[in-house]
């Protein structure tokens, strides 16, 4: 469970100052901590980083409940670790690419401190987020992989649309699709908001369309993309092709 004292209040290098649901508490704490579900080394399964070895830091807790969520085990529990312990573990693994994920990592104020520390230590840092939290406090050197929740997730009302302004040429936007309705919704958002042009111009790195695992037929989705000439990237979750799709820690 994410508790109030783990939530965020941070500076805003990407341009805005507020944070939905944030509560300021132990900013001056001598030992910042995080609640961690798991830290593991694997192959990146999604995004334009797919296939790259990557260390994953999975923080505990998420305020959303997407109906198809595949990381429900991260909603509760976890181990309380100091920021220094988390960084030490990442350093022990030694992989140059690190993803901070969840759950929803950005409900933790100290996730921003962790990202900054990892950048300072020379790691390439990815942050995967639901799109329901303010991403503007993230350092612009971070590669953000942000969802826009489609209607089939049951959580599209939580999309924080102003986040789109804070994505830049390092960042990627992901739609997870449960059915044709989700596809048409995503296609509408992509076209109405000129997102393909942003990728062409370099103010957004990629638009990712991903079928819900064991949900939407992969071939159908591929054919819809081709028929519509969408300038997006089809993706599946590579790690679920490599390992048992139910397996944790990969």
| Residues at the site binding ligand SF4, with contacts judged by CB under 6 A | 62, 64-66, 69, 71, 102-104, 130
Nearer to ligand SF4, 103 or 211 (CB): 103
Count of positions (residues) in the chain: 250
Backbone angles phi, psi at 87, to 5 degrees: -65, -40
For residue 204, count other CB atoms closer than 10 A to its CB. 21
What is the Cα–Cα distance from 236 to 205, expressed in whole angstroms?
18
79-82 vs 33-43, strand pairing mode: antiparallel
Nearer to ligand SF4, 45 or 103 (CB): 103
> Token digits for 89?
């573990």
Nearer to ligand SF4, 115 or 199 (CB): 115
Measured from the CB of residue 105, what is the shortest distance to ligand SF4 in angstroms? 9
> Token digits for 136?
């503007």
Measured from the CB of residue 76, what is the shortest distance to ligand SF4 in angstroms? 12
Nearer to ligand SF4, 87 or 100 (CB): 100
Measured from the CB of residue 181, what is the shortest distance to ligand SF4 in angstroms? 18
Measured from the CB of residue 68, what is the shortest distance to ligand SF4 in angstroms? 7
Asked if the peptide bond before residue 203 counts as cis, ω within 30 degrees of 0, the response is no
């Amino acid at each position: 469970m994410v508790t109030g004292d783990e939530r965020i209040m941070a500076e805003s290098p990407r341009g805005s100052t507020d944070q939905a649901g944030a509560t300021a508490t132990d900013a001056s704490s001598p030992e910042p901590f995080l609640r961690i579900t798991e830290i593991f080394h694997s192959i990146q399964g999604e995004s334009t980083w797919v296939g790259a070895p990557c260390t994953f830091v999975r923080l505990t807790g998420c305020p959303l409940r997407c109906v198809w969520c595949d990381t429900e085990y991260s909603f509760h529990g976890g181990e309380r670790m100091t920021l220094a312990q988390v960084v030490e573990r990442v350093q022990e693994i030694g992989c140059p690419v690190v993803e901070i994920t969840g759950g929803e990592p950005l409900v933790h104020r100290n996730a921003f401190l962790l990202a900054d520390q990892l950048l300072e230590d020379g790691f390439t840092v990815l942050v995967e987020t639901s799109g329901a939290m303010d991403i503007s406090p993230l350092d612009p050197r971070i590669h953000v992989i942000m969802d826009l929740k489609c209607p089939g997730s049951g959580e599209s009302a939580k999309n924080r649309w102003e986040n789109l302004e804070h994505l830049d040429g390092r960042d990627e936007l992901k739609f997870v699709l449960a059915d044709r309705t989700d596809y048409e919704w995503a296609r509408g958002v992509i076209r109405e908001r000129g997102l393909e042009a942003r990728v062409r111009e370099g103010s957004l790195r990629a638009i990712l369309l991903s079928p819900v695992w064991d949900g939407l037929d992969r071939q159908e989705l591929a054919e819809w993309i081709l028929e519509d000439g969408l300038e997006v990237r089809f993706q599946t979750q590579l790690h679920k092709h490599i390992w048992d799709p139910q397996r944790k820690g990969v």
